[in-house]
Amino acid sequence: MGILTKFLGKRIDLYLLLSVFLLTIGACTTKRTNVRNIPTDTDSKGTIKISVDETFKPVIDEQVKVFENTYPQAHIIVEYKPEAACFRDLDSAGTRMIIVTREPNSAENVYYQDKLQFKLSYGILARDAIAIVVNRNSPDSVFSRENLKAILDGSSEKSYKVVFDGLKATSTVRFAIDSILKGKKFDTSRVKAVENSRDVLNYVAANTDAIGLVGVSWIGNPEDLEQQRMLEKVNIALIKCENCLKEESDYYLKPTQRYILSGQYPLTRGLYYIAKESYPGLGRGFAEFMWQDKGQLIFKRAYLAPAHLPFIIRKTKINK
């Protein structure tokens, strides 16, 4: 009986020792996991990768340049691609933030909150416009939204070739489907896809029968020498005013900041950041920079309409 008691006692001691060992291993594993999850960046230093709609390359290049000069320990690695590819990147661990032309929808918000266990942060940075560009020798440089719809769906008598920065997944294509065609389908014989916005401009410059759609930051900045040289080869078309007073209903407008903000230029859209951070990290720091004064001025200089900077329009009279 004494031998059995000693044997059982030793087994209990062994079980206790094994339990303590397993608990210790579990605590160490948890500790290692927590250490691994400690952020390595702040809102002003570190390195992150972001994906950006290719339409906005000129202005986002400038935003990153100024941000990194302001915060020398911060490094933003930017990949420019079609909008749909940016949203796919948001689902990967390596991409911290995307910059695109729409907010996440309700289904995407639910999906990411379930996956990440925290909410996405997002907001508007600026307002953009789609510029319609034509060859300098084109007979037409004035259109309405209905004219553009007829050209895209093939019902127009004019046989223009409409050039996009990619056919399937770009924000410009999505805008044309949602806001110009409004449910109708492209006449594929009239639509041409090229690789990016610069290629759109080059194609229109070389072909008198082409109409191109590009973001205004690619062609609307009079202080950009490259854009000014391109404007010697292409024209920015005038588009019929919408949301105008009755006496202004026959006005045709270019995509200037005034008409983008007022909504009178019809082909406008927002520019949004979507950040995947549960703490004040570099993605949110960069987003905050873009919607504060310095970043908003960069959007203004790129001839987008800043979303958070007061933009005052005054009527003036010039005396000759």
Query: Do 240 and 139 share a structural domain?
Result: yes
**Per the domain annotation, does 316 fall within a domain?**
no
Domain that holds residue 69: 46-127+269-306
Number of domains in the chain: 2
Is 128 in a helix, a strand, or coil? strand
Query: Do 190 and 180 share a structural domain?
Result: yes
Query: Do 230 and 167 share a structural domain?
Result: yes
Query: CA-to-CA distance for 205 and 233, rounded, in angstroms?
Result: 5
Of the pLDDT bands very low, low, confident and very high (cuts 50, 70, 90), residue 312 is low
Would the pTM count as exceeding 0.85?
no
Give me the torsion for CA of 154, 159, 163, 164, rounded to 10°. -10
**Per the domain annotation, does 6 fall within a domain?**
no
Per-residue pLDDT tens over the stretch 63-101 = 999 999 999 999 999 999 999 999 999 999 999 999 999
Strands (E) in 136-245, as ranges, are 142-143, 161-164, 191-193, 210-215, 234-236, 238-240
Query: CA-to-CA distance for 122 and 124, rounded, in angstroms?
Result: 7
Q: At what angle do helices 57-70 and 293-301 cross, to 10 degrees?
A: 150
**Per the domain annotation, does 176 fall within a domain?**
yes
**Per the domain annotation, does 7 fall within a domain?**
no
- Are 257 and 303 within 8 A, CB to CB? yes
Query: Do 137 and 182 share a structural domain?
Result: yes
Query: Do 247 and 165 share a structural domain?
Result: yes
Per-residue pLDDT tens over the stretch 21-52 = 444 544 444 444 344 456 789 999 999 999 99
| Average pLDDT value for residue range 269-284 | 95
**Per the domain annotation, does 10 fall within a domain?**
no
**Per the domain annotation, does 247 fall within a domain?**
yes
> What CATH number did the domain enclosing 88 receive?
3.40.190.10
Per-residue pLDDT tens over the stretch 109-162 = 999 999 999 999 999 999 999 999 999 999 999 999 999 999 999 999 988 999
Sign, Cα dihedral of 45, 48, 54, 55: negative
Query: Do 196 and 186 share a structural domain?
Result: yes
Query: Do 235 and 188 share a structural domain?
Result: yes
**Per the domain annotation, does 318 fall within a domain?**
no
Query: Do 262 and 165 share a structural domain?
Result: yes
Query: Do 194 and 105 share a structural domain?
Result: no
Query: Do 282 and 236 share a structural domain?
Result: no
Query: Do 147 and 60 share a structural domain?
Result: no
Instruction: Say which residue, 74 or 311, is predicted with more confidence.
Output: 74
Query: Do 140 and 249 share a structural domain?
Result: yes
First-to-last C-alpha distance (Å) of the chain: 121
Is 183 in a helix, a strand, or coil? coil
Sign, Cα dihedral of 272, 278, 280, 283: negative
pLDDT at site 245: 75
**Per the domain annotation, does 40 fall within a domain?**
no
Q: Residue 119 has which token pair?
A: 């909410």
